[in-house]
Amino acid sequence: MDWVAFFTAAVQAGTPLLFATLGEIITEKAGNLNLGVEGMMLIGAVAGFTVGLFSHNPALALMGAFAAGALSAMIFAFLTVTLRANQVVTGLSLTIFGTGVAGFAGKSLAGKLVPEDLKAAFVSAKIPLLGDIPFVGRIFFHQDWFVYLGYIMVILLGVYLYKTKMGMNLRTVGENPGAADASGIHISLYKYVHILLGGALCGLGGAYLTLVYVPAWQENITAGRGWIAVALVIFATWNPYKAIIGSYFFGALSLAGLYLQKFNMQISLFLIDMLPYIVTILVLIFISMKRVRENSPPKALGEPYFREDR
């Protein structure tokens, strides 16, 4: 078996998951559980593809997906932060809405292909020096630059969350909004900015599918990846560095079934598909048993914050 090819493919399969997972991590760090990931990814996927199709410009295509993701998250932010609606219900509604929007907007896109010049922009390129490392270099540094953008995002987000004042404030908002409010942090502003940013990243994750991975628009192209991202956030214990490992691991798992079939293994594809969710549950149980604070869900996750109610 060609392991290099397998792992290279795993990284690519993990990339849309990575973007969506990072997006959901930022959102949840602000204390909001947005279950609309699937919807936001779909909207980003259709927006990125449409802009790319008409502009032939990779940067514009990405910006389109980014903006579309953020806009759809705006609905969630407005309803849950300003109007204090229930987050779970709003997120689920966003998934219905997003599926509808993308399904409708995608009707005219079926069968269209990504323009050649745009495809060329996303073609795999070797990074000098790093790409020469045996094995690892082939897997991680002979990729398209969307994948590299993923690496950059992980580092940016990691530094932001753990090394900057704003990142620390953000974590306080998610853990203890009362205390954050008392220390003068503008809770609503923090929530809005990070929910929007989270949606934007989900949008990019969707765009990777339509622009690079498939590359075309298909009805329901995300195929449940948004929900896997929700699982991955737990798997990664809300940590962007673990998110990249988790995303590629889940990416590999999603391919494992196909590879095993090739080798006539007597394990069902569908039982292997269960693994990501089982592993996630085990992680969830483990972190609640150990009660390690840094690995736990943000304390105020899912709870709206009313200053007046305190």
Partner 1 sequence: MLRITKRAGLTKKQIFLYRIIAVFAALVASGIFILALGHNPVAVYASMLEGAFGTLYRFKETIIKTIPLVITSLGICIAFKMKFWNIGAEGQIFMGAFAAAYFALNYPSMPMPLMLLLMAAAGFIAGGLWALIPAFFKAQFGTNETLFTLMMNYIALKWITYLQYGPWKDPKVKGFPMISKFNENGFMPKVLGIHAGWIIMLLLVVAIYIFMKHTKKGYELAVVGESENTARYAGMNIKRVIIMSVMLSGGLCGISGMIQVAGVNHTLGIEVTSGVGYTAIITTWLGQLSAPVILLVSFLFSILLQGGSYIQTAFQIPQAVAQLIQGTILFFILGSEFFIQYKLVFNKVQFFKSGKEAA
Q: Which positions touch partner 1 (CB under 8 A)? A: 33, 35, 75, 78-79, 82-86, 88-90, 92-104, 106-107, 224, 227, 230-231, 234, 268-271, 273-274, 277-278, 280-281, 284-285, 288-289, 297, 301-302, 308-309
In the complex, the smallest distance separating the C-beta of residue 79 from partner 1, rounded to whole angstroms, is: 5
Q: Which is nearer to partner 1, 78 or 160 (CB)?
A: 78
Give the shortest CB-308-to-partner 1 separation in angstroms: 6
- Give min distance, CB of 179 to partner 1, in A: 21
* CB nearer partner 1, residue 79 or residue 207: 79
CB of 244 to partner 1, least distance (A): 20
Rounded to a whole number of angstroms, the minimum distance from the CB of residue 164 to partner 1 is 27
- Choose between 88 and 136: whose C-beta lies nearer to partner 1: 88
3-state secondary structure the chain: CCHHHHHHHHHHHHHHHHHHHHHHHHHHHCCCCCCCHHHHHHHHHHHHHHHHHHHCCHHHHHHHHHHHHHHHHHHHHHHHHHCCCCHHHHHHHHHHHHHHHHHHHHHHHCCCECCHHHHHHCCCEECCCHHHCCCHHHHHCEECHHHHHHHHHHHHHHHHHHHCHHHHHHHHHHHCHHHHHHCCCCHHHHHHHHHHHHHHHHHHHHHHHHHHHCCECCCCCCCCHHHHHHHHHHHCCCCHHHHHHHHHHHHHHHHHHHHHHHCCCCCCHHHHHHHHHHHHHHHHHHHHHHCCHHHCCCCCCCCCCCCCCC
| Cβ-based nearer residue to partner 1, 110 or 136 | 110
